[in-house]
Each structure stands twice: as C-alpha cells, then as structure tokens.
Structure 1
C-alpha cells in the first residue's frame, strides 16, 4: 500500500528499503507525515516498524529510497549533518527513557538546548517550564533514580520537546509502564506536543495507545499492510 504524498507533507519516505543480510526489514515503504499529526506505526515483532522509525529519523540510512524533510533529502547527508539534524529538528522518547543518571530532571530536560548553544540560565529556565507543563513541579532537582517510571518518562518527554522539534519519534514510549501510568504518560506527550505543533510518530505494540493517534499504519514483512484514519 502506498500513502499519497501531498503538498502539505513535510517528512516523506519514498521507496524505503533496508536490508540486514538477506532479510529485508523494509521492502519499499512510502510514507508521508504532515505537520502536527500523530501517527502510530504498529505491527508484530520483526515487521520493520522500528527500522522504519530509525530510517525516517536519520538514525539509519536506507539501502534504497529517499527520506525528505521539507523537500530536501536527508538520507544523503553525512553522519555529522544527520546528527545535527536530529539535535535541532527531531525529538526522541524511548521505552526506557534513557535519561542521564547523573543529571537532575531539569538538567536532563535542558540537555538538547545546551547542545544547541542556548545559554545555561535560559536553558534551565525553559527546562523548568516544560517540567511544570508535564506535572513535575517540585521534582526539578531529583535524579532519575529518585523518580517513578512514569515520572522519569515525563522527563524524557520534556527533554524531547524542549527545543520545539518538528517531529517527535517515540519508540514504545509506554512499554515499560503499567496500563494506567502508560495512558497518562501518553496523554501528557500528546498534549505537550500540541503546544509546539510537533508531529508525533509512535512505534507501539499497544493497540489502545495506537487508537489515540490520528492515523495508524500497520507494517507487515517490511511493507505497509493497512492504514487507518481516525
């Protein structure tokens, strides 16, 4: 199945192929993402959904096909330029949060701003503002080991949003959380993303989580098998 590419699409994958040895994790995927939309990518383990996220995010290069951001190919960029692109244009939320244990919640949140050259005082002020938006007032000086799983994941969301990215890529963002905490964390992510008009691309096994997206694509055997609009 091919997703039509329109004038309003700004992150586009065309004919994406990614192989690992003889196996094709992606076998010719076309996918277009619009500003501010929430897209869920679902499918069984080994279907290619995480590979698709990594290719769209510039973490992996496709073996064939193109990835375009704002009409410009990013798959042809060198590693340094793709790394800079990920720092400035994209935000990431992973299953385990991947916070820096030695840093406080505010310092973790401020990290992408500091890497982008924002002055420390301003970065820390903005970080505290994001933590407040995500219901973590009073926890700014706690370290990840002093927080619950849901609280730590909200810090990861704050960090992903702090530099107001164009796209947030979330790979199983609630996979390590219980159902109630996962639902609340997901709602926090979507609400916060709306304030920046960031698109959100979620890879998940959770059908209830996927149902919160505006569009769902199902990956099977490296291809889009189904697409559902809510």
Structure 2
C-alpha cells in the first residue's frame, strides 16, 4: 500500500492544545477542567467507559462544540473564540473526520464522496476526482469508485471515509469509534489503513474508542472518567 507524497514533514511540537476544558449539558458536567495536548504526527487514543466524556472531548478539540470554560489552541491560535462559520471553515480546511458508521453521502459514489472535501475547498472537479481516485486506489478500493455506499461492505465504506478524511491533507484526523460497527478482522484492517495513510501525510490522529486493542495501537492513551483525564504512553 503506497500513498501520495506528503511534502515536507510537519514539526512534531505541540500544536493542538486544550486547557482547562469544561463542558456542561444542563446539570451534567461532561468535561471538568480537562488538559490535553496533541503533537503533530502522533496517534492519541481517547479511552474510557460509555458516558465518560470521550466524544465530548473530541468534539470540543475539533471545534464542533464550544467549551463552556477553558480554551482550545490550534497552532498558536485560539479556535474556541471563533464563530460557528469560522469554526466550520476551519474544520473543512484543517481537520478530517472518520465516524463509526462512515456517514458517507448515500446519493454519491465512492469517488464523489472522497472528492467532496476538495470540492468544498474550491478545487476544480477534474483535479478533485483525480486525487480522490488516487486515494481510493491506495486504500485498496480500485474498481469500486462508482459504487454507492449501500453497495459497499462495512469495511469498504470505512475505507472510503478514510480516503475522504485525508483527501485534503488535514493536520488532524478525528476518528470516533471508527471500528465500532465492524467485526474484529475488518476492524484491524481498517485501523491499519487509517494509521498508515495518516502517517504518510504527517497528520495526527485522535481516536475515540472503548476498544482496548485499538487504543493499544496508539502512541499515547488519554484515559477519561467522569470528565477528568490522565494520559500515558503505550508500552510495547
């Protein structure tokens, strides 16, 4: 499996930082003063039981949710202060997303789904389509470009989602339970594809998971319980 040339490697210092993050849902405090740092190019797993605040933390770091307290800093710039339109633009430009069920557009083919971020960024259709085809080919999906999501297996659909997430060469891939709907073997192959592709582009990967085997593939685990975190390096 080979990937497009990623250009100059990104520096590996801290560039996505959450400080004192607080997020409330009514009387429930989902995040209670969380500090977390993501370095360029690293793979971080956010692990913990259901309801512990994992997905909330991911959404706050990704600018999907605005924290009720604390700050989120990307490459030296606070993104929690941005309005919704600016945060939406930031997500399209700097971040890629892989969700549990892929969330592909059902009416679009595999190549059209993959090209979508490039088109939204202003690329012409011919270039976006050519780039999308390259990603699909490198992720083992050659010949499936014209299939709709409903015509793909679960693993194939997740690979399309990975191709879509990486097509515009984001700085961070946020993956929320990316293998949760897959069997063990397919999940392992999908994880391999995601991590290899991200490494080829220099993107950091932040994975929310309750799967200990998947978390162990990361370089670092951020453990979250009751809105509080601790992190540790993975040994082995």
TM-score range normalised by the length of the shorter chain: over 0.9
TM-aligned CA distance change 1:8 to 1:226, over 3 Å:
closer
Q: Distance in 2 between matches of 1:95 and 1:217?
A: 19
**Equivalences for residues 146-185 of structure 1 within 5 A:** 146-185=151-190
Deviation at 1:22, TM superposition (A): 1.2
CA contact (8 A) 2:220 2:231 kept: no
What's 2:48 paired with?
43
Deviation at 1:28, TM superposition (A): 0.4
**Equivalences for residues 105-144 of structure 1 within 5 A:** 105-144=110-149
Match among 193, 199, 221 for residue 194 of structure 1: 199
Deviation at 1:23, TM superposition (A): 1.1
- Unaligned runs of at least 5 residues, structure 2: 1-11
CA contact (8 A) 2:216 2:234 kept: no
Matched, 1:33 2:38: yes
Matched, 1:207 2:218: no
Please state whether the residue corresponding to 2:106 is helix, strand or coil: coil
Please state whether the residue corresponding to 1:16 is helix, strand or coil: strand
Q: Distance in 2 between matches of 1:178 and 1:139?
A: 21
CA contact (8 A) 2:109 2:145 kept: yes
Deviation at 1:161, TM superposition (A): 0.2
**Equivalences for residues 209-224 of structure 1 within 5 A:** 209-224=214-229
Deviation at 1:195, TM superposition (A): 1.2
Matched, 1:79 2:84: yes
Deviation at 1:227, TM superposition (A): 2.5
Deviation at 1:226, TM superposition (A): 4.4
Match among 4, 10, 16 for residue 11 of structure 1: 16
- Unaligned runs of at least 5 residues, structure 1: 1-6
Q: Distance in 1 between matches of 2:102 and 2:231?
A: 29
Deviations 1:153-209 (A, max 9, x none): 000000000000000000000000000000000000000001110000000010000
Q: Distance in 1 between matches of 2:126 and 2:119?
A: 10
Please state whether the residue corresponding to 2:71 is helix, strand or coil: strand
CA contact (8 A) 2:33 2:228 kept: yes
What's 1:4 paired with?
none
Q: How many residues of Structure 1 are paired with residues of Structure 2 in the alignment?
A: 224
Q: Distance in 1 between matches of 2:44 and 2:21?
A: 18
Please state whether the residue corresponding to 1:10 is helix, strand or coil: strand
